[in-house]
Amino acid sequence: MLDLRATADAVTTNPLGDELRGTRNAKPCSIVILGATGDLTKRKLVPSLMGLAKDGLLPAGFAVVGFARRAWTDANFRKELADGVRQFGRPDTSSHFEALADAFTFHQSDFGEAAGYAALATKLEQIDRARGTAGNRLFYLATPPSSYSAILRNLAATGLSAERNGRFARVIVEKPFGRDTATAQALNEQVRAAFRERQVFRIDHYLGKETVQNILALRFANGIFEPLWNEKFVDHVQITVAESIGVGSRGGYFEESGIVRDMIQNHLMQVLTLVAMEPPAALTADAVRDEKVKVLKAIRSFRPEDVDGATVRAQYTHGSFAGEDVKGYREEDGVAIDSMTETYAAVRLQVNTWRWANTPFFLRSAKRMPRRATEVAIHFKQPPHLLFEDGKTHQPNVLLLRIQPDEGVALRFGAKVPGPNIRIRDVRMDFRYGTAFGGETADAYERLLLDAMVGDGTLFARADEVEEAWRIVDSIVAGWKQSGARPEEYVAGTWGPERAESLLGPGRSWRKP
């Protein structure tokens, strides 16, 4: 396939900083990270905050309080965070941490200990006076979900979740948002008992990725795509999240979730809603999320007897990856020898709206695939009459949105090969973020942390959105349970079981990213 690369003038600074600087100013605030001794803080949260510092996007009044059970001092905490910024942060951000090190303090307490939250409230008032954080609070729940209930209850009991005199109090909740509809509803009730919905930011880091956000820009900032974005012109849509790794040390967790709960319920459903939604009335949080919820409501729950025909599930077996032998799923630590948990799932969904009435959406996610890739492929219909017949069947036009690892947008179309004969060959126009904009790409958490500080919930899931996604996934899981059939198998390092191709229907095949 020929490669016609789209180019643009090089940009030497970070596009995220250019876009947001001066237009989205965060107010002074203290960020309290509950569960601050975990990997998430060291690998993602603090390195992302230092990325914002590098781009000049942190407020002048700023502080971080780490809240956890370990008997750490401020010095212990700062050393761990400095190591994390060096290992996982963007280049040249260590100096920003050194300059801001005094803003990071540690608070030791058990999550269920009421006195610890009272002491935290006193500490935050002292920080307000010392660092000018103006009484604004952002609480980040970087803990296992089992700790959420105690944390939320104590934040409410001590008044830390209340907003007074123009001061904000917000909470960021990490996924998973429950493990089914009932637990998601229970979690939402717990959150609502402490915070109003507008104070709640349910974070899914996929929505912070540039290409995911670019779905909205591609559709609604250009006049050429949206007229074709419907069932008259689109044959089908494929959304793929492929991982090359296995479950590793997460075997025990994965046994309880499976790929459909771990990936499809949140990441893939979120991307689906952005692809399928109607144009919002405005780019405000509620307007965008209203349209996303409408998409999910337009997807009917599966009847148990229909699930096998609309889904494929499988487990990886012993195979080879990058020249090395790798274990099968049931050989991994923490996995039952007779496990029924899927590591591969493909689902055919129908969005029952006028726009998408006859266009199926195919969602696929798996472990131990040949390579790591996340993409959305919009497959257009073939022309009604093929004028150019040169003995070959040409591939349909595809608009490809690459989310990771090589972010960009590509369009495949047919072009005449130079020469006296008329021969058509598939070519590709390819836009790449790194080539077009230059500079370094900000981590998804940078955008999402900034949005939470600003108070913009557009890229965060709302309570009804979470519950609607679980409704769909619950009906799939119920169908699998009723059938009692074992998951199919695929060799590690391959693209999944053979039957997955038949899910697409005649004349279609899964893309191999």
Q: Which residues are catalytically annotated?
A: 267
- Quickly tell me which residue has 């036009």 as its tokens: 397
Whole-angstrom distance, CA of residue 505 vs CA of residue 484: 25
Whole-angstrom distance, CA of residue 402 vs CA of residue 77: 37
C-beta separation of 423 from 2 below 8 A: no
C-beta separation of 158 from 121 below 8 A: yes
279: DSSP letter: P
- Please, which contacts does 393-400 make with residues 24 or more away whose CB atoms are closer than 8 Å? 394/424, 394/426, 395/426, 396/235, 398/511, 399/225, 400/375, 400/376
* Polymer length of the chain: 513
C-beta separation of 265 from 440 below 8 A: no
- Quickly tell me which residue has 């958490």 as its tokens: 445
**Closest to 424 (Cα-Cα) out of 458, 374, 386, 477:** 386
Cis peptide before 405 (omega within 30 of 0): yes
Whole-angstrom distance, CA of residue 473 vs CA of residue 460: 19
At residue 483, φ and ψ (nearest 5 deg) are -70, -35
Positive or negative, the CA dihedral 69, 463, 450, 243 is positive
Angle between helices 210-220 and 269-276 (to 10 degrees): 10
CA gyration radius, the chain: 24
Distances in Å between the Cα of 195 and the Cα atoms of 172, 340, 467 are 11, 38, 18
Give residue 317's identity as a one-letter amino acid code.
Answer: T
Distances in Å between the Cα of 402 and the Cα atoms of 270, 275, 415, 474 are 15, 13, 23, 28
C-beta separation of 180 from 142 below 8 A: no
**Closest to 399 (Cα-Cα) out of 385, 386, 413:** 413
